[in-house]
Structure 1
Amino acid sequence: MVDTCPRLPERLRHRAPFAVALLILLIVFIGIYLWRDARLSPSAAGRARPPVEVSAQTVELEALPQSLEATGSLQSVHAVTLAPEVAGRVVAIRFEAGSRVDAGTPLVELYDAPERAERADALSRAQFARRQDERSRRLAPSDTISKQLLEQREAELEQADAAVQRIDARLSQKTIRAPFAGLIGIRRVDLGQYVNAGDALATLAALDQLYVNFTVPQQDLARLRLGSETTVRTDAFPDWAFPARINAIEPMVEQDTRNIRVQATLANPGQMLRPGLYVTVSVAQPMRPSAILVPATAIQTGPSGDSVFVVRSDRAEPVPVVTGQRRGDRVVVEAGLSPGDRVITSGQLRVQPGATVRVAPPKIASGSPG
């Protein structure tokens, strides 16, 4: 039998499967494009998805108290580590750890018997020199003694008195006294212990008044004033705010950090605070008459910066903003918003740009009047 069906050329028969596959891919791509276009069109999106329920807040201008925030630590106005000036054996300890002492109170005494014996000998010599001087002065008007001998007697008396004073100074070094009134710390010495000059015996700190040391960036120098009121807080007493006042501003800027050291004086009548505590400092600034604040939950942070969703014509529009200080659970918006804008505060994670939204009415707390 003779085959009467026309045959394709050999070259076309090899290319036919590729042409069919290319046609199928083209049809698939066209279908995907049409489906995506229909899905993203506003009319289709409106039919496919209901409005997203969100919470929103209308922003208004409000007065904002200003403050300069910094971190620092507390320091005693008067604090010292008690240490002997000379070596010796401890023969008396006259304080209890943690007790309050007055200025001049004897705290630790070292063995001083040799010095006391030397003082008795020097005092005896001084008394004899004084009698000799008095006798010479009585005989001087009658020219019984020479002027040279009279001057010698006066010099011997001065030397004897100086010897007594020198031994008294050495004796005073054997007794360590409180240089000022304050709270004494943990005892670091025991009775009978031999101590060298400079060995730490205990710490003494005056707690009635403290210094607050903190640093601020150099760009905030113009906002600092001597006598400015500050508020000090610490996590040791989270519910307390302690008033202080700036008493010194370092005249030079630190070369390494470009910060300025500032010191404030803090009254501590109840002695609640202790030196070394980490604190946060708020320096009061003039009131800002108008500012826009939004809840921190409204701010979205992305690669291009911060932004918020604003409800306009029942649609969510992303608006880039410039944020400032954080005040509690709210953030100051320096640029990007205007009074009257309705900012989405919750539910924005389910919102796409341009999506239709429905603002839920504010919830009323349970038990409050309707």
Structure 2
Amino acid sequence: MKRSFILAFVFAVAATAWVASGQLGESGAEPEAQKPPADLAALDKVPTVRVRSSTAQTHAIVDLLRGRTEANRKVEIKVETDGRLIELAVDDGTLVDAGDVIARLSAGDRPARLAEAKALLAQRKIEYEADQKLSQKGFRAETQVAATEASLQAAEAAVKIAEVELAYTEIRAPFDGIVDERMMEIGDYVDRGDAIARLVELDPMLIVTQVNERDIQRLQLGNTGAARLMTGDQVTGHIRHISTVADEATRTFRVELEVDNPNGRIADGMTAEIALPLAETQAHIVSPAILTLSDGGLIGVKAVNEEGRVVFHAAKIVDTDKQGVWITGLPDDVTLITVGQEYVSPGEKVKTVQESEVEERLKDLAS
């Protein structure tokens, strides 16, 4: 009994000492640093975006098409009478002017028939003059005078026919051009309608393409166009012809671009890439990087209005080139967000920094 009391006393003292040691350790340790309260004002800070002022410009929308060169005129020169070919004044590749002699046929008896027709004409003139004098004196009936006049006119026609037949023995170039191919040789006998040479007019040169039915109404005669040939040469000209009848197979329309070719450097049948202006419109040139999508899936750009709030403008891409993309659907003057547009929403208040300011700072840092 006494021993149990002593053990209980010892345990009580030990427990008291253990509790006291814990309290002393806590009182000697440094208090834990408390976190500062959340800065709710920081959540209300206005985001900053980079902007650029843009003004709509007049821009010609261009349609890029494939086409080919085509000679302005290409004809087979054919004889209009028969005879033996006695002279060929040209070779393949010869340049000729309009009216130059290309070939001659044997005249045969044509000079003699012309002389005969002229002699008969002289006779008919004398007969007609005599009948007129007799008629004035009352010695010749009017019917006889009319018959004599008809004979005179027939003689005059016979002379003209003989002259034309003789002229046909000289075959001349109908226009300035180049002899592409000679089809006959000296000594060949030709009949009326036989081709003796092919003549090609290379200046001006045509560049021909096909335009679809959606764009054909946007082209205008006289508009300037450009073409790049497979040789690397670039040429400019004007739209000379727009077909009003569609090709039955492709439902496209033929369009001709006329370009100067004074030296004949552009050959017939070359492949070309053609740029035709479809229309002029007021558009903004922007970088593709600033384009974004609205919640409804519309493509457009974000801008800042006069109140300093973000607005979304749906845009239509009308053309692209090396400078960027041309878009319509925006006001004529607009402040575009160029950096940070993905982190702000329409209606949100923002601070703006002009691109020009950023560029100036970068220049200062670089120097």
Task: Tell me the TM-score range normalised by the shorter chain.
Answer: 0.5 to 0.7
Matches within 5 A, 1:26-175: 66-175=61-170
> Offset of 1:325 from its aligned partner?
7.8
Structure whose alpha-carbon radius of gyration is higher: 2
Q: Counterparts of 1:144 and 1:95 in 2: how far apart (Å)?
A: 61
1:84 to 1:219, Cα distance in 2 relative to 1, 3 A: same
1:102 to 1:222, Cα distance in 2 relative to 1, 3 A: closer
Matching residue of 1:267: 260
Matches within 5 A, 1:1-370: 66-236=61-231, 238=232, 240-284=233-277, 286=280, 288-293=283-288, 339-340=338-339
Q: Give, as a single letter, the amino acid of the residue that structure 1 aligns with 2:152.
A: L
Contact 1:69–1:282 (8 Å) recurs in 2: yes
> Offset of 1:168 from its aligned partner?
2.1
Q: Give, as a single letter, the amino acid of the residue that structure 2 aligns with 1:158.
A: Q
Matching residue of 1:30: none
Contact 1:61–1:291 (8 Å) recurs in 2: no
Query: Tell me, which stretches of 5 or more residues in structure 1 are unaligned?
Result: 1-59, 295-322, 342-368
Deviations 1:260-295 (A, max 9, x none): 22122212223221222221101135475234458x
Q: Counterparts of 2:168 and 2:53 in 1: how far apart (Å)?
A: 69
> Offset of 1:332 from its aligned partner?
6.4
Q: Counterparts of 2:60 and 2:153 in 1: how far apart (Å)?
A: 71
Q: Give, as a single letter, the amino acid of the residue that structure 2 aligns with 1:74.
A: T
Secondary structure (helix, strand or coil) at the match of 2:182 reads coil
Q: Counterparts of 1:225 and 1:78 in 2: how far apart (Å)?
A: 23
Secondary structure (helix, strand or coil) at the match of 1:69 reads strand
Secondary structure (helix, strand or coil) at the match of 1:135 reads helix
Contact 2:285–2:326 (8 Å) recurs in 1: no
Contact 2:285–2:325 (8 Å) recurs in 1: no
Deviations 1:112-157 (A, max 9, x none): 2222222221211111111122222233322233333222221211
Q: Counterparts of 1:125 and 1:114 in 2: how far apart (Å)?
A: 17
| CA RMSD, 1 decimal | 3.4
> Offset of 1:66 from its aligned partner?
4.4
Query: Tell me, which stretches of 5 or more residues in structure 2 are unaligned?
Result: 1-51, 290-316, 328-336, 341-365
Contact 1:217–1:259 (8 Å) recurs in 2: yes
TM (norm. structure 1) is 0.59
> Offset of 1:73 from its aligned partner?
1.7
Matching residue of 1:42: none
Q: Give, as a single letter, the amino acid of the residue that structure 2 aligns with 1:160.
A: A
Q: Counterparts of 1:324 and 1:132 in 2: how far apart (Å)?
A: 82
Secondary structure (helix, strand or coil) at the match of 2:103 reads strand
Secondary structure (helix, strand or coil) at the match of 1:280 reads strand
Secondary structure (helix, strand or coil) at the match of 2:215 reads helix
Identity %: 23
Q: Counterparts of 1:208 and 1:167 in 2: how far apart (Å)?
A: 36
Q: Counterparts of 1:156 and 1:333 in 2: how far apart (Å)?
A: 79
Contact 2:128–2:148 (8 Å) recurs in 1: yes
1:222 to 1:143, Cα distance in 2 relative to 1, 3 A: closer
Contact 1:118–1:167 (8 Å) recurs in 2: yes
Q: Counterparts of 2:228 and 2:271 in 1: how far apart (Å)?
A: 9
Secondary structure (helix, strand or coil) at the match of 1:104 reads coil
Secondary structure (helix, strand or coil) at the match of 1:78 reads strand
Secondary structure (helix, strand or coil) at the match of 1:186 reads strand
TM (norm. structure 2) is 0.59
Secondary structure (helix, strand or coil) at the match of 1:251 reads coil
> Offset of 1:340 from its aligned partner?
4.2
> Offset of 1:82 from its aligned partner?
0.9
Secondary structure (helix, strand or coil) at the match of 2:235 reads strand
> Offset of 1:159 from its aligned partner?
1.3
